[in-house]
């Protein structure tokens, strides 16, 4: 894209790239190369962050978040990794790695009397692959995991064409019938959230961290968040607030009858073992 733009401006493609551009392209191609290596060797890993019911204090679910530190490219945050993987298609391999790891973790926890619902992240766009639901269900069965222990958090940042939409709805309904729950992630920031929340088999809404963190700033924001919570609940969604960091935020959300919270105030993303200790 960079080269094309430069050419459109009439420049010579190579010389017009700044050293910043080169650095960015270099890092990106290094990440792509190392990612293949890391996926082969299962060098990615997962951290789990609790989602806590505000009225009971019970940890109803944990969210699995991918982590990757490579010997050559260093720490690659999900914010850097996921867009690259979405672009080059490796997001499917990451998704399968996450699912496999989570299934094994659930089985391990179950065998020791810990019964926990685990959510994994995926982009609605991944469901463009018309075999997505089928391969997810195969993988779940292969790992003898109970589908009702799984939630899929979906986000969508772009508009989808009608045809893609139909395939996505069909596949999500199929997964939902098999017992998997869905949550709409980053609610309030994505594309056409209102449209998707009624069309798709979604049971929870996760209000985006940026919105939650502005809760103490203006009265208008407070009213809006209160309205979002009431709105979600009146449509029978479970409402989860993301990125809760302070007691003040927590108490406001409690007063607004928010169902669940997830954030540093209750627990950072943790290694599985660390989470077990934390739960005790």
List residues binding ligand C2E (CB under 6 A). Answer: 49, 65-66, 77-79, 82, 94, 98, 121-123, 153, 155, 185-186, 209, 242-245, 262-264, 269
Q: Kindly tell me the burial class for residue 27, based on how many C-beta atoms sit within 10 Å of its own C-beta (0-12, 13-18, 19 or more).
A: middle
Residue 171 contacts which entry, Mg ion, ligand C2E, none (Cβ below 5-8 A, type-dependent): none
* Minimum separation from the CB atom of position 196 to Mg ion (A): 15
* Minimum separation from the CB atom of position 53 to Mg ion (A): 17
Q: Is 156 in the site for Mg ion (CB under 5 A)?
A: no
Give whichever of 94 and 256 is closer to ligand C2E, judged by the CB atom: 94
- Give the interface segment with Mg ion, choosing from 50-58, 197-205, 234-242, 250-258 (CB under 5 A): 234-242
Distances, alpha carbon 245 to alpha carbons 84, 148, 179, in Å:
29, 29, 32
* Minimum separation from the CB atom of position 208 to Mg ion (A): 6
* Minimum separation from the CB atom of position 84 to ligand C2E (A): 12
Residue 267 contacts which entry, ligand C2E, Mg ion, none (Cβ below 5-8 A, type-dependent): none
What contacts 177, CB < 8 A, 6 or more positions away? none
Residue 98 contacts which entry, Mg ion, ligand C2E, none (Cβ below 5-8 A, type-dependent): ligand C2E
Closest CA to 165 of 192, 143, 135: 192
Dist CA 13 CA 276 (whole Å): 54
Q: How many residues bind Mg ion (CB under 5 A)?
A: 5
* 202 φ/ψ angles, rounded to the nearest 5 degrees: -100, 135
Q: What angle do CA 136, 77, 245 make, to 5 degrees?
A: 95
Dist CA 229 CA 207 (whole Å): 9
Residue 122 contacts which entry, Mg ion, ligand C2E, none (Cβ below 5-8 A, type-dependent): ligand C2E
Written as six digits, the tokens of 43 are 């060098």
* Minimum separation from the CB atom of position 245 to ligand C2E (A): 4
Give whichever of 15 and 247 is closer to ligand C2E, judged by the CB atom: 247
Helix-, strand-, coil-residue percentages of the chain, each rounded to 5: 50, 20, 30
Query: In the range 183-212, which residues lie near Mg ion by CB under 5 A?
Result: 185-186
* Minimum separation from the CB atom of position 23 to Mg ion (A): 26
Q: By the 8 A CB rule, do 245 and 231 touch?
A: no
Give whichever of 34 and 124 is closer to Mg ion, judged by the CB atom: 124
Closest CA to 101 of 66, 133, 135, 152: 66
* Minimum separation from the CB atom of position 19 to Mg ion (A): 31
The binding site for Mg ion (CB under 5 A) comprises: 121, 153, 185-186, 242
């Amino acid at each position: 894209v960079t080269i094309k733009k430069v050419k459109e401006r009439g420049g010579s493609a190579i010389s017009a790239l700044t050293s910043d551009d080169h650095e960015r392209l270099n890092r990106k191609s290094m990440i792509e190369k190392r990612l293949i290596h890391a996926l082969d060797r299962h060098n990615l890993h997962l951290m789990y962050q609790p989602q806590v019911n505000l009225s009971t204090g019970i940890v109803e679910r944990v969210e699995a978040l991918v982590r990757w530190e490579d010997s050559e490219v260093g720490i690659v945050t999900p914010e850097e990794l996921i867009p690259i993987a979405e672009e080059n298609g490796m997001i499917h391999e990451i998704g399968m790695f996450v699912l496999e790891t989570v299934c094994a973790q659930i089985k391990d926890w179950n065998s020791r009397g810990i019964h926990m619902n685990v959510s994994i992240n995926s982009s609605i766009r991944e469901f463009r692959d018309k075999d997505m639901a089928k391969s997810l269900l195969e993988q779940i069965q292969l790992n003898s995991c109970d589908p009702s222990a799984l939630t899929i958090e979906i986000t969508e940042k772009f508009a989808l064409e009608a045809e893609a939409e139909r395939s996505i709805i069909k596949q999500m309904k199929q997964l939902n019938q098999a017992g998997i729950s869905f949550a709409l992630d980053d609610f309030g920031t994505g594309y056409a959230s209102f449209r998707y929340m009624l069309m798709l088999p979604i049971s929870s809404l996760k209000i985006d961290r940026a919105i939650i963190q502005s809760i103490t700033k203006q009265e208008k924001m407070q009213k809006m968040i209160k309205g979002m919570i009431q709105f979600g609940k009146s449509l029978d969604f479970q409402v989860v607030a993301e990125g809760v960091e302070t007691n003040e935020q927590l108490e406001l959300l409690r007063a607004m009858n928010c169902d669940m919270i997830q954030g540093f105030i209750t627990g950072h993303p943790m290694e599985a073992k660390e989470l077990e200790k934390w739960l005790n």
